[in-house]
Chains A and B, each alone.
Chain A
Amino acid sequence: MNRTPVLTGVIAALTLLLTAPGQAQIAVRGKKIYTSSGVVLTDGVVVLREGKIAEIGSANKVVIPAGFTIVDAAVVTPGLVDIRGTVGLTGIYNNFGHDQDQLETSAAMQPELRALDAYNPQEKLVAYVRGFGVTTVNTGHAPGRLISGQSVIVKTTGNTVEEALMVETGAVLADMSSEALQGSGSPGTRAKVMSLLRQQFLAAQRTIATSEAEAKKVTVKAPGKTTTTSKPAATTTKTNMTATNTPASKTGDGAPRDLRQEMFVRILKREIPLMITAHRAQDIASALRLAREFRFRLILDGASDAPLLLEEIKAAGVPIALHPTMQRAFGDTQNLSFETAAKLKKAGIPFAIETGFEAYVPKVRVLLFEAAVAAANGLSTEEALSAITIDAARILGIEKRVGSLEVGKDGDVALYDGDPFEYLTHCTGTIIQGRFVSSDRN
């Protein structure tokens, strides 16, 4: 294997890096660098300084600053972004009460549950996916209840969720599939599902109306002061831990806070998306109908039957967190296809491939592997990589920080010893914010 010298170089470099305290300054040299920003570099360099990408370009143009550690790889990609999974809530042991926090079954709708409060950054499966290049995950409660909770967007590193945190609430997670019709307290029919959601949104609309009326009163009482409580800070400072503690539904008259209602208000205000799991065409259509009616930011999740509704989804401008390519096909997912990603791409529908959630095993899917099978079934290498990097970041609204190798973005990088999608290729390193977080040859 002619890759051995490169590998030895990597290992030597890693040994240095892992023993060096503080943030290392790294220059990653790649025979091929997929930037996910429309450029593929041959013999390129990515310079990481203080956790950010300081420079990227051709090896004969970029001057590697003195003292920087040089790491070589056959192929370099941005750190991978998983648009929707359950890792960190779901654990390796499958032990209920210990490491299976992915689904609270006590009620049908609990948008107040925060994945933030359930994510275990020490979970072995987090380290596992990190070893396969995943640096950012939008993780949260699994489908199985009408509204199972809020997702959290984290980097796959850190001792505490606070250290890992990118976005406190990535999305509110809803499930309109057959699964959500089962279990005590769940609605019994699809029509009831829609009715319950409509009632929630109507109530939220009333709350907003009351809040705005209150705001006007305040404005009338104090002319000249136009900045009022009607616009919470949550929209802009997503990474601020206190953001969602600002009561979006606060009416100013001392009305008791309602955590559930607050989430629906925030969805209606388009501050956070509602990610709806729907596989069957009729469920996808229902989700589109609901989004049309209440004008919230919809992300379709799963979407096995998407190829049956390409025009409708395109017209609605709704992006898709697409089921893992290798997900099992039965029940609601019986029509899923290896070629769906390619069909969405052709139709011009924004999508990203997710690891999702399934019963039993694997306890987590490997994002790279799922994209690989899509790449073998109609997506180009660049398209498949985009579906697990920049496209996921854009749909989640975090593209200014992650998802591509561009100057100023987080120094999140994945290294490989060959075509990232080939079965025989290894992920040889994962870097998050300029630090090696995996140096195994996976």
Chain B
Amino acid sequence: MARNRGQAGSLSPSDEPFRVKFSLLLFSLFLLASGANAQTNGGTIAFVGGRILPVSRPPIEKGTLLVKDGKIIAVGDSSLTIPADATIIRSEGKTIMPGLVDTHSHIAGPAGGDSSAPIQPDIRVYDSLNMRESSVKKALAGGITTANIMPGSGHLMSGQTVYIKLRGGKTIEDYFIRDSAGNPSGGMKMANGTNSIGSPPFPGTRGKSVALIREQFIRAQEYRKKVRDARGDASKLPPRDLGMEALVEVLDGKRIVQHHTHRADDIMSVLRLQKEFGFKVVLHHVSEGWKVAEEIARAKVPCSIILIDAPGGKLEAVDLSFKTGAVLEKAGVPVAYHTDDGITDSRLFLRSAALGVRAGLSREAALQSVTLAGAKMLGLDSRLGSLETGKDADFIVLSGDPLSVYTHILQTYIEGRKVFDRDDARDALFAVGGVGAGEELRPYLCCADEEAAKR
């Protein structure tokens, strides 16, 4: 792998002089050693001989993955023709699968809604992120290439989420996944149940929670009508309302609601709202999802599950079970897992899928649950989530079966660039921990603080 290092670049931002020099040194060595130089900029890289799990189709033994200009240009078996000028990376004994998609993460210290009001759709979580946090590097060590960074809960609507690629870079802008109009993509974070109940102006009951949300969406419908009726005439447009603009995107299906919900009746409330207002929604956590699997399936709504090592922590999560994934799969519900990092550790994301299999989830669904299914839930599946021609070259190289505890993630690639390498001691530090790998500050622990405040 070393000969590709110069091209692969480093995980750290390029403002580290030592790292740059080191990379240049290796790059020069690479030139001397291989004599090849055409491939380093825009050339084809061929990963040859490994077990490839495209996820969108069956595993390929002794597969070949061709990458060029940050995209996958071909995936196939050993019969695939490798361009003569390709840089070949041998992958015998390794497993290659798509980069992991974490549909619900709190890495980089997100701080969204500020508890001044229960509904804050104008909030953009990307305005709060510190991409230099070690949590970002740990996520890469865990093979996560795409993440939906959510504002914390504790609100009915705590703001706009952001979908990012963990490319590395100096500012959050370097991490955005831009839509066709060039805007950063993201969803809308909502929550219900005990999580968003509080003292005024927060709702005190579930009935009030839903009433407040309905009111808000009705306002958004009215706002949208005014905008439509103005037909582009600036004098007739309503005054700009940032929150309403975001909610119109939700109503138009351009911004997916990412909805925290645990209890079966709360899940049903989300489905009822979804039916009334027609937005796209992903159910998150769904601790009691197994109790209403058929209903979720009928609503054609996907689920992103949190897998915690033990049930409880709050009344809503007492019936949390490892079997949720299996029950939902059986009912026909698309299933993803998420880390909810810092609730669970990004470095062990694959573990959630594996424990799902332990409780009956199929292996195929498990592999999809941390890749393609998640990509669909973020509306990004045309670009990523599986190893297919034309998709972004986001993939990970593993030492073995992704569902084994003994397997380590060896490398993480995003858009063809190596962004994590376990052989590099500076990256390995984040993979296993140690001095310099942690944070002074406590990570976001969902509801812990809210729950504590209610005591």
Contacts and interface: CB of A to CB of B under 8 A. Distances in A.
Given A361-B308, A361-B317, A330 B440 contact: yes
B212 interface: no
A96 B453 CA distance: 12
| Interface residue range, chain A | 35 or more
A54 B313 CA distance: 41
A105 B25 CA distance: 57
A233 to B, nearest CB: 39
B313 A360 contact: yes
A53 interface: no
Contacts of B440: 330-331, 334
Looking at chain A's contact residues, the main secondary structure is loop
A326 interface: yes
A339 B403 CA distance: 20
Interface in B61-114: none
Nearest to B357: A424
Given A326-B345, A336-B438, A421 B315 contact: no
Contacts of B445: 359-360
Interface in A39-94: 91-94
| Interface residue range, chain B | 35 or more
A338 B433 contact: yes
A91 B318 CA distance: 10
B438 A93 contact: no
A331 B405 contact: no
A263 B446 CA distance: 39
A377 B20 CA distance: 30
A124 B451 CA distance: 21
Contacts of A335: 433-438
Nearest to A366: B309
Interface in A390-434: 421-426
B313 A363 contact: yes
A29 B354 CA distance: 28
B315 A337 contact: no
Contacts of B240: none
A423 B310 contact: no
Contact of B405 (A365, A423, A426): A423
Contacts of A372: 405
B432 interface: yes
A436 interface: no
A364 interface: yes
B348 A360 contact: no
A350 interface: no
Given A360-B445, A376-B406, A423-B355, A369 B433 contact: no
Contacts of A333: 438
A331 B442 contact: yes
A363 B343 CA distance: 12
B306 to A, nearest CB: 9
Contact of A336 (B310, B318, B355, B433): B433
Interface in B210-258: none
Contacts of B455: 96
Nearest to B138: A329
A142 interface: no
Nearest to A426: B358
Quick one: which of B404, B434, B435, B451 has the most chain A CB within 10 A?
Answer: B434
B426 interface: no
A92 B404 contact: no
B354 A423 contact: yes
Contacts of A331: 440-442
A366 B310 contact: yes
Given A125-B310, A369-B309, A360 B448 contact: yes
A385 interface: no
B405 A92 contact: no
B314 interface: yes
B442 A330 contact: yes
Contacts of A330: 342, 438-443
Contacts of B405: 372-373, 375-376, 421-423
A364 B354 contact: no
Nearest to A128: B310
Contacts of B204: none
Contacts of B441: 330-331
Contacts of A365: 309-310
6 tightest CB-CB pairs across the interface, nearest first? A334-B438, A92-B312, A423-B354, A337-B433, A329-B438, A360-B448
Interface of B: 308-315, 317-318, 342-343, 345, 348, 351, 354-355, 357-358, 403-408, 432-443, 445-448, 451, 455
7 contacts: A307-B434, A326-B345, A335-B435, A363-B310, A423-B404, A424-B358, A424-B404
Given A331-B441, A334-B438, 20 more contacts: A91-B312, A92-B312, A328-B342, A329-B438, A334-B439, A335-B434, A335-B436, A335-B437, A336-B433, A337-B437, A339-B432, A361-B312, A362-B309, A362-B313, A363-B311, A364-B310, A366-B310, A375-B406, A421-B405, A423-B405
